[in-house]
Structure 1
Amino acid sequence: MEVNPLSIILVKSDSKGDRLLFRYPFVITSNESNLRKKRHPYSLITQEDILQSPLPQTSNIHQGQLSGFTDEVLSTLFAVKPELCNQKFELKVNDVRFVAHPTYMQSILINIVFALHAQASYSIVKCYYELSKRLGHALVYEESRVGYLSDEMKLMVKIHDEIATTSAESENMFHSLSAFDLILEQSSLAQCLKSIYHDLCTTGLLNTTINQWVTLSFCLPHKAHQAHKKGIIVEPEKIDRCLQSLKPYHGMLLLVDLTELLDCVPPSGARMLLQLINAYNPLKTLQNMANEADLAINHVYELVGHLVYWAKATIIYPLCETNVYVIAPDAPLHTQSPLVEKFSIKFPGMSLFEVISDFSLPTSIGHLTTPLQHPTRQGTLAQMVLWMLQHHLLMQLHTYVQFMPTDEGSNEFYDNSEHNEIDNVDDDVNNENSVSQDDDLHPGSLLSMSSQPMPVPNTSRRSITDEHFSEMADSTISDNIITKPGSSSKSNYSSGSMSTENCNSLQDSLASIEDEEKIKELLMAFQEPERSAIKDLPAASNPEDLNLMVRLYQAGYFKGEHHLEEIMYFENLRRSQLLQLLDKFRDVLIIYETEDPAIATLYTQT
């Protein structure tokens, strides 16, 4: 794999000259050993030798390791001039790319070089450069503190010199191999470099302590995320895009045990991470967890982002009964999949194929549960869904809305499955007691606590309707209790000479005229073709419904970029209110289900 390093090389340059001190791995191939062989000074070069000489080498990779370079060549390449220090160093030779950050200190140049596949992506090269830079800074710090680097360099040079002397006397052609073996046995720095190499090749996660003092934590996300989903390369840029899209209504799902979390943070951040973990629950939003952990939401974003980068967690929408899931298109569901046995161990007596078959078509958790089920059964279902999300077997679908009026006045693209859900809402009830089946979660359900996003003050964009009809909108959102215009002056008419019936009739007339004026003003938010399509709808004659429609339209929620959960959260709406509105204006609104792009970007190649 192009993610894994081919070799890690340590080179120094000082007043005594250039020297390759250590490299790992140091297994010498047959081709490399031929380069090391010394020809007898009195031997003759025959025509046969010339014919058998190898062709010019075009590859410097042999069985996943660096080959074809002698120690002398490598030391010459990487003992750069001081002018090239403290900046990015990159060199491509055949199919190998060398990346480093040469560091200059106290008349000594130290260079930790990573040999990579030449086709490694820019983000992979950038990560290895950052690691070389951080290693150099750690060694500079330890050198200034206790002279650690000088001691390690003296030890390595001494071993090289002793082995070279012994090899010259015994004509041993493999003296460098023996020198690296001894250095690895006696040098803590060499052991540290070996550990770094193996960690990069296995997990992509480093938590190395240099000289038992400086702890170096590093993550190669391209490698780390493959532990959860084989064959996919998660670029840091994808993670950044996901984290930039984090909202308070999102949730977090841990992918590892709690004991594996503290390895990825420095001691200074351990306290805040423990606060967050104590409040962790996949049924809670990030905002809820921030409140319980007594942390600012921005700090929670940073901690969650760090865990996602280190492949310790992923972003989800908090688990609740209204969530719709479907089998992921690239889910490794075959009879020989190790996940089958892993699932049966986690949930004895349950079959992965039987459980996940319920999600062959998009299905909400609420459709798989009933109020009569025992809470234990509901809890088991929730745990199984979480397990399948951790192993990326399921993906969540969200409902998005697109405003698209048609000349015919009806929308053929209206989603029937969502329409069935909307039909369950009592359209004749427009007060606070109007709650959809999704909102009335049965007592004892483990999912009921997060079935609705946490209400927050409406701080989103204010439209012209908010300014002119803020009182009406507030009453609609908060409690749906609408006071009829003119009702406050009812007593004035009753005290006059007019009869009660005439008084009520006049009030109704005035209210009707006022409603018509409001409707006309609300319709002005649309362009003429759109206005014609909307005003013919029965729902457009209700100023409350039309006001909410215009408010969401002007806020940009009907462009297919915001799912229902996001609209509910930022506009402080209940699901029943929103579903009723979509049903009443279904002739001009298209709804469809797809993934949340903020989350999907983590585990999709496109």
Structure 2
Amino acid sequence: MSLNLPNPSILGILLVVSTHSGPQLVFQYPPDLSNDSKKSSNLKRTNKTSTLQRKDSDSDELDIDDDDYIADNENDEEFVNADNDEEKEWDSRKMNYYLGTKSDLLSFLDEQEKFRQTSQERNKIYGHKQSDSHIDPDEIKSLHRNSKSGSSDKQIESPKLEASNSNNLKKTISSISDSQKSSTSKASTSGIPPVSPITSSTILGFEADYLCEMLCPPKQMCNSRFEIMIDDLVFLGLPIHSYDNGSWKSKHSHRPKSGKSSKGRSKNAADNASIDEGIDYETTSKSQSKNSMSMFHLVFIMNPPIIECNYRIDEMFHYVISRLSLVLRYEQSKHEYVWNQIRMIYNLKEEFRNQATMANLTKYLTDKSSLCKLISECFTQISRSNIANLSINNKLRSFQIPIKTEFHSLPDSTVPYLPGSHLSSTVNMLANTGLISVGETIRYDVNNLNSGGLDDFDDIDDNKSDSNADDIIYYALLLLDDPETIIRDIKAQQQSTLANFIRMIKPTESLLKLANKLKQQASDNGFSLDAGQIKSFAFHLIYWRRARVILPISTRSVYIVSPMAPITLKFHHDIFIFKKTFPALPSLPHFLKLLSNSSKPRQLATVIPSKDHRDAYLNALSWLIRYGYVTQLHTFIWLKISRKIKMKVEEDLENEGANNKRKKPSATADPNISNKLNAGTDNTSKTESNPEDIQRKMSQLRMINRNNNGNPTSYEQEIDNIEKKLLSPSIGLNLVLEDEGDTIIIDPGRASSLERRWINKVISEECNLSPELTVKFYELLKYMNGKNSLELLLLKENVSRQELRTLLFAIEDHIISVRHW
């Protein structure tokens, strides 16, 4: 199991609506849901366990009531093992398998079993004769009513039913099929929208009518997450129901101010809250349509692995189902898009009624109906883990389940991941934006399994998340494909603003630098973009999996071979590609050796032979970062407070307290109370008692010992030794309390008053910084928390490397530095 690998686990999509005529299945994709090999194998098991081996539990009898059918488990098992020829006739992959009602079929099987029990007696009477006469369904129902009447000793005298007669079974099924067709034609004349016989087949072994009723929940259960599991199949959706006034959006609904949601799958806001929080738009009179549709439900059928079930379901609901359903609700409220498309689908089915196959009908519907087309494209792209670009009422919408190709820490050795994944702590900047999905780093992470990346991490500060998202302007974009290929794939016009922006992206320049360059060139070429537009384009390219966020590539930065480099998977193939792309540079193994040759990581500039090779080496480095072979080494620092500094600050506090108390007049006449007030806080020792008090207490201990024992003992000698030690004048010098170590300030930007005293003592007395360095120190103090790299600090605060080097050298005894990705 690995949650890092894409696994949509989607089997199909159903569109179900509820009208005045009742629940109806409008469209299904793919069309051959009942013929899938995996589903048919599951259905074969379901037929044996659910249809023939009926349980006594009410939870297993999903199709009929207890009053309609009472089965015997042991007799059903004997019937299944007795006749293999009849089992072929009851193959779930056949179209005639579920024709008729379940009550009729199960009643017939019940009567067959009862005749098997009395077969020996009947064989003696009728001489093992077999009848080929037709079995009337009404007769089967009457026999079934007789079997429920309670007369167990009454024998049914009819030679027309034999357990071994497969021809009778075939004729019964065909008779029930004719009865169902006639009832369908009656429904058509009663005003119900016609349903083509092509679509009235089984779906994953379940009757279409049965699924429609199950997937159309009551109004109270709509507008929230819908999830039901039958066998190994999960039916997941977001049923959209109209309100009493005919609108599709509640007037009083509002978007919550905070995006936080409680942890856990059962408490997820997307699961339990109303979907009115999704899209904010005002209800118009047009939304109060007078159509007969009261609910529509886009249902995704999934079959995820058991150990990943919760995670995959949450993932699909959060990224695809909820967002797509909300968009459809918006279009229905504004333009009645869903209802117009459903009426079109009914008309197209009527035109196509006399055609041959279900596949032809599906192709015909997807060509004519935009709703059917978007459902088919959604299934095709999501099942392949691609981005689904859907046209919904002539508006382009994108949906995807983000692929985990970026990690902030090294995954466990037992957790597989996609080859070429990127390892860098910079992915934390976008971890909460929904643009990327950071991969799991440990085996069976409880948070990953339960939350599925769906909650917004309650322990993260909102302001901090917003600032991190804004930091993208200081980063660079690394395109994951050729610029012209990206422009063609996203279907952008060749001379559009987005196309020109993509052509100008360089991994060596930050987006802020690119924005400043565009401002300078705006007067010449008339092409200008502000920082907000550039950030928006960057987010789009990241979401479309066309770019990756990195720090600008520089020759002064340090790069190492990534621990996640695909050495064992793609190395031999990439050697040929690297040599073809950069023929003038060393081979791929030799290039990686240059980066990891010395024991101490070094700057890229030490690897480049000359300035003429600079651009070629930078291009090769960007290629290696793109395919996961190389990652940048970042530097993180913490501010350390030594024990010496803390003792000095403590002395200063005691002196300040003593001075304040001397200046303050006595508040009481009691000398004992006055002494206690002037004593202050003494953390050194409690041995400064009066010697007379010590002797008096020791004599009391001796008297107690004599009263108990009658004569001095060794206990009294021990008391004398303790008394000598306590009366010794050097006791205060020899007594040492707990030896406290150094302290690391976790968040110096939010330091307490005591921590600020420590920091001031370091700057003023220990380091003796100049006024210029002191100002620079306090500007950069908030970055000394081990979370912000110094490489990013140089870009955000516009600090030169020389200034930073001088400051770090001055305070090097009071900082802890760590270098990692």
TM-score above 0.5, yes or no: yes
Give SS of 1:559's match.
Answer: coil
Tell me how far apart the structure 2 counterparts of residues 126 and 594 of structure 1 sit (CA, whole Å). 33
Q: Distance in 2 between matches of 1:528 and 1:3?
A: 55
The 5 Å alignment of 1:519-598 reads: 540=768, 543-544=770-771, 546-548=773-775, 550-552=777-779, 555-595=781-821
Q: Which residue of 1 is the match for residue 112 of structure 2?
A: 45
- Contact in 1 for aligned 2:13/2:298 (Cα 8 Å): yes
Query: How far off is 1:343 after superposition?
Result: 2.7
Matched, 1:344 2:344: no
* 1:87-116 Cα deviation digits (max 9, x unpaired): 544434444141234365622243222123
Provide the rounded CA distance (Å) in 2 between the counterparts of 1:87 and 1:573. 51
Partner residue in 1 for 2:515: 290
Q: Give the secondary structure class of the aligned counterpart of 2:577.
A: helix
- Cα gap change, 1:26/1:339 in structure 2, threshold over 3 Å: closer, same or farther? farther
CA distance in 2, matches of 1:141, 1:256: 39
Distance 1:527 1:318, change over 3 A: closer
d(CA) in 2 for partners of 1:191, 1:572: 51
How many Å separate the matches in 1 of 2:341 and 2:313?
A: 34
Give the aligned partner of residue 480 of structure 2: 255
Compared with structure 1, are the counterparts of its residues 363 and 136 closer, same or farther at alpha carbon in structure 2 (3 Å cutoff)? farther
Q: Take 2:231 and 2:433, find their aligned partners in 1: how far apart are those partners?
A: 28
Name the counterpart of 1:111.
297
Shift, 1:363, TM fit = 3.5
Return the alpha-carbon distance in structure 2 between the equivalents of residues 137 and 263 of structure 1.
Answer: 30
Return the offset for 1:35. 8.8
SS at match of 1:3: coil
In the alignment, structure 1 residue 69 sits paired with structure 2 residue 217: no
- In structure 2, the CA distance between the partners of 1:231 and 1:156, relative to structure 1 (3 Å rule), is farther
> Which runs of structure 2 are paired with 1:378-389 in the superposition (5 Å)?
378-389=614-625
1:388/1:138 CA distance change after superposition, 3 Å: farther
- Aligned-partner residue type, residue 581 of structure 2: K
- Cα 1:582–1:115 change in 2 (3 A) is same
C-alpha contact (below 8 Å) 1:112/1:132 kept by paired residues:
yes
Residue pair 1:405, 1:588 contacting (<8 A) in 2 also: yes
Distance 1:285 1:124, change over 3 A: same
Superposition pairs of residues 159-178 of structure 1, within 5 angstroms: 159=352, 162=354, 178=357
Give the drift of 1:285: 1.3
- Displacement of 1:187 in angstroms is 3.8
Q: Which runs of structure 2 are paired with 1:271-286 in the superposition (5 Å)?
A: 271-274=496-499, 276-286=501-511
The alpha-carbon deviation at position 72 of structure 1 amounts to: 2.1
Q: How does 1:46-195 map to 2 (within 5 A)?
A: 46=113, 67-81=204-218, 87-95=224-232, 96-102=234-240, 106-108=291-293, 109-116=295-302, 117=304, 118-119=309-310, 120=312, 122-128=314-320, 129-135=322-328, 137-138=330-331, 147-156=340-349, 159=352, 162=354, 178-188=357-367, 189=369, 190-195=372-377
Cα shift at 1:364: 2.2
Cα drift, residue 586 of structure 1: 1.3
1:14 is displaced (CA, Å) by 2.5
CA contact (8 A) 2:237 2:297 kept: no
* CA distance 1:379–1:71, change in 2 (3 Å): same
Matched, 1:33 2:93: yes
User: 2: distance between equivalents of 1:127 and 1:401?
Assistant: 37
SS in 1 for 2:317: helix
* Structure 1 residue 184 displacement after superposition: 2.4
| Corresponding position of 1:326 | 560
Provide Cα deviations, 1:514-544, integer angstroms capped at 9, x if missing partner. Answer: xxxxxxxxxx99766666666665x52x524
Query: For 2:432 and 2:757, how far apart are their aligned partners in 1?
Result: 46
Q: Distance in 1 between matches of 2:574 and 2:379?
A: 29
**1:386 is matched by which residue type in structure 2?**
S
CA gap of 1:290–1:14, structure 2 versus 1, over 3 A, is: same
Residues 259 and 137 of structure 1: CA distance in aligned 2, closer, same or farther (over 3 Å): farther
Match of 1:23 in 2: 28
Task: Tell me how far apart the structure 1 counterparts of residues 562 and 479 of structure 2 sit (CA, whole Å).
Answer: 19
Pair 1:36–1:102, CA change in 2 (3 A): farther
- Can you list the C-alpha shifts for 1:555-588, whole angstroms capped at 9, x where unaligned? 4233323322333334432101211221232111
For residue 22 of structure 1, report the CA deviation from its aligned partner: 2.4
SS class of match (2:346): helix
Give 2:375's aligned amino acid.
Answer: L
In structure 2, relative to structure 1, the CA distance for the partners of 1:216 and 1:382 (3 Å cut) is same
The 2-side partners of 1:239 and 1:114 are apart by: 23
Give the aligned partner of residue 364 of structure 1.
Answer: 603
Cα distance in 2 for partners of 1:94, 1:68 equals 11
Whole-Å Cα distance in 2 between the matches of residues 587 and 231 of structure 1? 34
Question: Could you list the per-position Cα deviations for residues 116-154 of structure 1 after superposition, in whole angstroms to 9, with x for gaps in the alignment?
Answer: 334225343111221233345557777559944422232
Match of 1:299 among 513, 533, 539: 533
Q: If each structure's strand is expressed as a fraction of its own residues, which one has the higher value?
A: 1
- Shift of the alpha carbon at 1:7? 1.1
Q: Is the 8 A contact 2:402 2:435 kept in 1?
A: no
Q: Does the CA contact (< 8 Å) of 2:421 and 2:628 recur in 1? A: no
Aligned residue for 2:471, secondary structure, equals coil
Relative to structure 1, the CA distance from residue 133 to residue 19 in structure 2 (aligned partners, 3 Å threshold; closer, same or farther) is same
Gap change, CA 1:155 and 1:247, over 3 Å in 2: closer
CA distance in 2, matches of 1:110, 1:214: 20
Aligned residue number for residue 198 of structure 1 = 380
Deviation (angstroms), 1:321: 1.1
Deviation at 1:3, TM superposition (A): 2.4
User: Paired residue for 2:650?
Assistant: none
- Aligned residue number for residue 401 of structure 1: 637
Secondary structure, aligned partner of 2:93:
helix
The one-character-per-residue Cα deviations of 1:262-306 (angstroms, maximum 9, x if unpaired) are 5897989x9553453243222211111223343332332222122
Distance 1:127 1:345 in 2: 39
Q: 1:124 to 1:192 in 2, by over 3 A?
A: closer
CA separation of 1:223/1:573 partners in 2, compared to 1, >3 Å: closer, same or farther? closer
Deviations 1:483-509 (A, max 9, x none): xxxxxxxxxxxxxxxxxxxxxxxxxxx
CA RMSD of aligned residues (A): 4.2
How has the CA–CA distance of structure 1 residues 210 and 306 changed in structure 2, closer, same or farther, with 3 Å as cutoff?
closer
**What amino acid is the match of 1:561?**
K
Cα distance in 1 for partners of 2:490, 2:639 equals 45
1:185–1:229: structure 2 CA closer, same or farther, 3 Å change rule?
farther
Flag structure 1 segments of 5+ consecutive residues without an equivalent. 51-65, 167-177, 410-523, 596-606
2:18 aligned to 13, 16, 33, which one? 13
Amino acid at match of 1:218: F
Distance 1:335 1:559, change over 3 A: closer
Contact 1:5 1:114 in 2 (8 A): yes
CA offsets, 1:439-497, max 9 Å, x none? xxxxxxxxxxxxxxxxxxxxxxxxxxxxxxxxxxxxxxxxxxxxxxxxxxxxxxxxxxx
Q: Secondary structure at the match of 1:222?
A: coil
Aligned twin of 1:445? none
Q: Offset of 1:247 from its aligned partner?
A: 4.5
- Specify the SS of the correspondent of 1:556: helix
Say whether the 8 Å CA contact 2:492–2:498 is kept in structure 1: no
Equivalent residue letter for 1:320: S
- Contact between 1:112 and 1:136, CA under 8 Å: does it hold in 2? no
In structure 2, what residue type is equivalent to 1:11? V
Q: Is the 8 A contact 1:88 1:101 kept in 2?
A: yes
Alpha carbons of 1:152 and 1:141: their partners in 2 closer, same or farther (altered >3 Å)? farther
**Paired residues, number:** 445
Could you tell me which amino acid in structure 2 is paired with residue 45 of structure 1?
Answer: Q
Shift of 1:546: 4.9
What is the one-letter code of the residue matched to 2:344? Answer: D
Deviation at 1:322, TM superposition (A): 1.4
Indicate the structure (1 or 2) with the bigger Cα radius of gyration.
Answer: 2
Go from structure 1 to structure 2 and tell me whether the alpha carbon gap of 1:529 and 1:17 turns closer, same or farther (over 3 Å shift).
Answer: closer
